[in-house]
């Protein structure tokens, strides 16, 4: 029975008095010390609560939306309000679309990934066949900065590690750059258990369109 | 009447003989000089032929796929094979989806734009509230390089011009950076005749999700 009901007016009044003595009547009037205590409590509770599978924390210790899939995010948000201990389950095959947020919501890790690969591959498609030394240097700089600033920080870490691990950007011409980007994408595909792409066909996929003419 | 018909077999034979005398039987056997001449002819024809509205050329003088909408690209490709003089018409309202290329085709200017804004806004959402001076400097460097290397070169030109024209990136904290990016996006919206976004709500759109909870 909710204590806001009218069945026991005396009990209700008692609870209101208790509440008034322990919680400030208006949160705006809370002292700095009280606010810090409440915030610390919230952080402690968050730390103790097991997060649903797939929820990644940001460098600030809070759940990182752009590092997390919509499915895991939804599971966490549900858990925070009505099902505190429920763990995210794998969505049934074909049900992924229902787990996508509305189109005017912040992107999840998957939408961010698709968008970023579109930009990066398009950059290789527009890259000159004979780039100047400045263009080559600037492309390497861009990739270095991208790998630091990518909004999913765990993905960014992986990308930097992969590049350091014998996969320095190859930017001496369009073909090399397109191949290298395709290999970078495949490294992520492998990690995620997705199918690899045949890099011999990167140019058909990202620059010219397929030879069967379906992109024309 | 097409000259490949059987109504005038003598005429058809004559045309075949003329063709055999003017075009090498097999293009692989053409001399370098002949090939250069044919290529020059193709370039001249391309230059004389009016391009459908909206088709943008690349720095190499060829149509730039990532600078052009699917609708205009389709109009051009159709023109190149069956309707050489037809000019692209504006698609009827609501018909845009039928003009989108299959999902595994090179992105057109619109898909590239949507993808890139998703990445850029997500970067502002992940930006620290108190960035270090190095982070601020690197963010400016990234934007400078991005504005040079963006695959739609006319869009890139516009972005550089807008930044120079009193709109230097504001990167001193997350709120400033998010606001600035929203203004950059609105400058493009205005140019394209699209509705502007209320920049006071950039954080709900790109970082926290809307207050009505529909993104949770």
Residues B54 and B70 sit within 8 Å (Cβ to Cβ):
no
DSSP A60: T
Query: CB-based contact (8 Å) between B214 and chain A?
Result: yes
- The pLDDT score that the predictor gives to residue B6 is 39
- The pLDDT score that the predictor gives to residue B94 is 36
- The pLDDT score that the predictor gives to residue B68 is 86
CA distance A26 to chain B (A): 21
Residues 6 or more apart whose CB falls under 8 angstroms from that of B214 comprise A101, A102, A105
Mean pLDDT value across chain B: 79
Rounded to two decimals, the pTM is: 0.71
What 3-state class would DSSP assign to A190?
Answer: helix
What are the chain A neighbours of B101 within 8 Å (beta carbons)?
209, 214-215
Share of chain B above pLDDT 70, in %: 68
What number is the ipTM of this complex?
Answer: 0.71
Minimal Cβ distance to A126: which of B66, B138, B146: B66
Q: How far is CA B147 from CA A115, B153, B165, in A?
A: 17, 9, 14
Predicted confidence (pLDDT) at residue A17 exceeds the cutoff of 50: no
CA distance A57 to A76: 12
Minimal Cβ distance to A101: which of B65, B125, B215: B215
**Position B61 confidence tier, pLDDT thresholds 50, 70, 90:** confident
CA distance A3 to chain B (A): 27
Residues A71 and A109 sit within 8 Å (Cβ to Cβ):
no
CA atoms within 13 A on the CB side of A209: 17
At the top level of CATH, the class of A109-208 is mainly alpha
Q: B119-157, pLDDT tens digit by residue? A: 999 999 999 999 999 999 999 999 999 999 999 999 999
Q: A94-134, pLDDT tens digit by residue? A: 334 446 778 899 999 999 999 999 999 999 999 999 999 99
Mean pLDDT over A172-185 rounds to 98
Interface of B with A in 92-111 (CB under 8 A): 101-102, 104-107, 111
Long-range Cβ pairs for the range B131-139 (8 Å, 24+): B131/B171, B131/B172, B131/B173, B131/B174, B135/B171, B136/B171, B136/B172, B138/A145, B138/A148, B138/A149, B139/A149, B139/B169, B139/B171, B139/B177
Query: CB-based contact (8 Å) between A206 and chain B?
Result: yes
Judge: B206–A153 Cβ closer than 8 Å, yes or no: no
- The pLDDT score that the predictor gives to residue A38 is 60
Query: CB-based contact (8 Å) between A162 and chain B?
Result: no
What are the chain A neighbours of B74 within 8 Å (beta carbons)?
216
Dihedral of alpha carbons B124, B125, B126, B129, sign: positive
CA A138 to chain centre: 27
- The pLDDT score that the predictor gives to residue A77 is 81
CA distance A150 to A161: 14
- The pLDDT score that the predictor gives to residue B134 is 98
Predicted confidence (pLDDT) at residue A42 exceeds the cutoff of 70: no
Q: Where in chain B is the domain with CATH 1.20.120.310?
A: 109-208
Instruction: Decide which of B58 and A206 is more confident.
Output: A206
CA distance A98 to A69: 13
Query: CB-based contact (8 Å) between B177 and chain A?
Result: no
Minimal Cβ distance to A214: which of B102, B115, B153: B102
CA distance A69 to A55: 8
- The pLDDT score that the predictor gives to residue A185 is 98
Predicted confidence (pLDDT) at residue A189 exceeds the cutoff of 80: yes
Instruction: Decide which of A135 and B29 is more confident.
Output: A135
- Orientation of helix B133-149 relative to helix A133-149, angle to 10°: 130
Query: CB-based contact (8 Å) between B75 and chain A?
Result: no
- Orientation of helix A109-126 relative to helix A174-191, angle to 10°: 160
Q: How far is CA B65 from CA A76, B26, B108, B180, in A?
A: 41, 30, 6, 29
Judge: A122–B66 Cβ closer than 8 Å, yes or no: yes
Nearest residue on chain B to A129, alpha-carbon basis: B60
Judge: A122–B77 Cβ closer than 8 Å, yes or no: no
């Amino acid at each position: 029975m909710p204590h806001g009901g009218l069945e026991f007016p005396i009990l209700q009044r008692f609870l209101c008095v208790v509440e008034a003595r322990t919680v400030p009547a208006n949160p705006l009037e809370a002292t700095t010390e009280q606010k810090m205590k409440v915030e610390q409590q919230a952080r402690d509770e968050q730390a103790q609560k097991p997060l649903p599978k797939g929820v990644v924390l940001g460098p600030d210790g809070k759940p990182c939306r752009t590092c997390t899939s919509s499915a895991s995010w939804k599971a966490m948000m549900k858990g925070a309000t009505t099902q505190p201990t429920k763990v995210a389950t794998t969505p049934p095959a074909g049900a992924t679309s229902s787990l996508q947020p509305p189109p005017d919501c912040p992107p999840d890790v998957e939408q961010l990934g698709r968008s970023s690969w579109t930009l990066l591959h398009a950059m290789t498609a527009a890259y000159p066949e004979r780039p100047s030394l400045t263009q080559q240097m600037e492309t390497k700089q861009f990739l270095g900065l991208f790998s630091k600033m990518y909004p999913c920080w765990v993905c960014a870490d992986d990308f930097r590690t992969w590049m350091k691990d014998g996969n320095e950007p190859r930017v001496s011409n369009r073909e090399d750059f397109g191949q290298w980007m395709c290999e970078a994408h495949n490294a992520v595909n492998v990690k995620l258990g997705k199918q690899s792409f045949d890099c011999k066909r990167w140019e058909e996929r990202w620059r010219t369109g397929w030879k069967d003419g379906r992109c024309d």
